[in-house]
Amino acid sequence: MTLRRGMRSYGTEATDVAAAGPAVELRGLRRQFGRGARAVHALRGIDLALPRGSFTAVMGPSGSGKSTFLQCAAGLDRPTAGSVRLGGTEITGMSENRLTALRRTRLGFVFQAFNLLPSMTVEQNIELPLRLAGRRPDRRRCTELLEQVGLDGLGGRRPGELSGGQQQRVAIARALVTTPDVIFADEPTGALDTTTATEILALLREAVTRLGATVVMVTHDERAAGYADQIVFLAEGAIADRTLSRSSAPLSPSGAR
Ligand SMILES: Nc1ncnc2c1ncn2[C@@H]1O[C@H](COP(=O)(O)OP(=O)(O)OP(=O)(O)O)[C@@H](O)[C@H]1O
């Protein structure tokens, strides 16, 4: 499965000023649950900068802080300390309304359980982020995305009439529709068989390589992580290691290539 050429590219369209900076920048990120003797330090000071157009896998044992990392980086949870910049915008301290608006317009999400709305058609699911952001649904864009993810002609179906792999393709199209700064993927192949998982990972890889999308993916699966440019290993809430997965280009200390 490959993304077709001739697609809308990412990059300079919305935020030229910020375009030069990293897509994701985390500084001294801490997240503590509870207090005193019962405090759990889920994140203990994460420093990480992810360039635009990069694919990062986040791995680590159960309880190492992967979900907390994703939630804080995507503005779904508030860190106890530190800062999160997305597409050059500091989100720490943002009001809930502004955060919601930012998530709708500038972030994409792909979940293990697909999280499509069953009563809506495929096309309506893909257009949903545009509607929520108060933007006009764009039929041509939707058709283009359906082609890109290999679902031509299936726009009128409902999610229940699709296979798991097809549903995840819809979720990827939905994540791409707003041309977001970052796509956060949480175990996107966790519910899929090996062959289908490979197709979905190849699709995410191509969204990065050909469209210039930025993907941050939490996964337990080493093979899945192999599709990323780099793997960040968490252990007990800290970055224990970082390895380049596909490229041999060295990473600078700040994480930018
Ligand atoms: N809401 C919460 N309240 C208290 N502790 C929490 C909360 N959420 C997470 N934790 C704790 O923070 C730590 C990190 O949890 P997190 O879910 O981020 O790990 P994970 O690496 O995603 O684990 P898994 O791979 O099992 O999903 C764990 O010790 C967990 O018990």
CA 251 to CA 112: how far, in whole Å? 29
Copy the structure tokens of residue 27.
């500084």
Query: 39 CB under 6 A from ligand 1?
Result: no
CA dihedral 71, 74, 75, 76 (to 10 degrees): -40
Protein residue closest via CA to atom 28 of ligand 1: 63
Tens digit of pLDDT for each residue in 205-251? 999 999 999 999 999 999 999 999 999 999 999 999 999 976 434 44
What residue spans define the domains of the chain?
A: 22-32+39-244
The least confident of 10-14, 17-21, 44-48, 242-246 is 10-14
Protein residue closest via CA to atom 4 of ligand 1: 33
- Which residues are CB-contacts of 29 (< 8 A; sequence separation ≥ 6)? 43, 45, 46, 47, 48, 69, 72, 73, 79, 81, 82, 83, 84
The CATH label, of 3.50.50.60, 3.40.50.2300, 3.40.50.300, 2.40.10.10, for the domain at 22-32+39-244 is: 3.40.50.300
What ipTM was reported for this prediction?
Answer: 0.98
Expressed in angstroms and rounded, the spacing between residue 66 Cα and the centre of ligand 1 is 8
Q: The pTM is what?
A: 0.89
Ranges assigned E (strand) in the chain: 24-33, 40-50, 55-59, 81-86, 89-90, 107-111, 182-186, 215-218, 230-235, 238-244
Query: 190 CB under 6 A from ligand 1?
Result: no
pLDDT (average), residues 80-96: 96
Phi-psi region of 173 (alpha: psi -120 to 50; beta: other; left: phi over 0): alpha
Question: What 3-state DSSP class applies to 73?
Answer: helix
Protein residue closest via CA to atom 6 of ligand 1: 33
Tens digit of pLDDT for each residue in 138-192? 899 999 999 999 999 999 999 999 999 999 999 999 999 999 999 999 999 999 9
- Which residues are CB-contacts of 228 (< 8 A; sequence separation ≥ 6)? 55, 56, 57, 215, 217, 245, 246
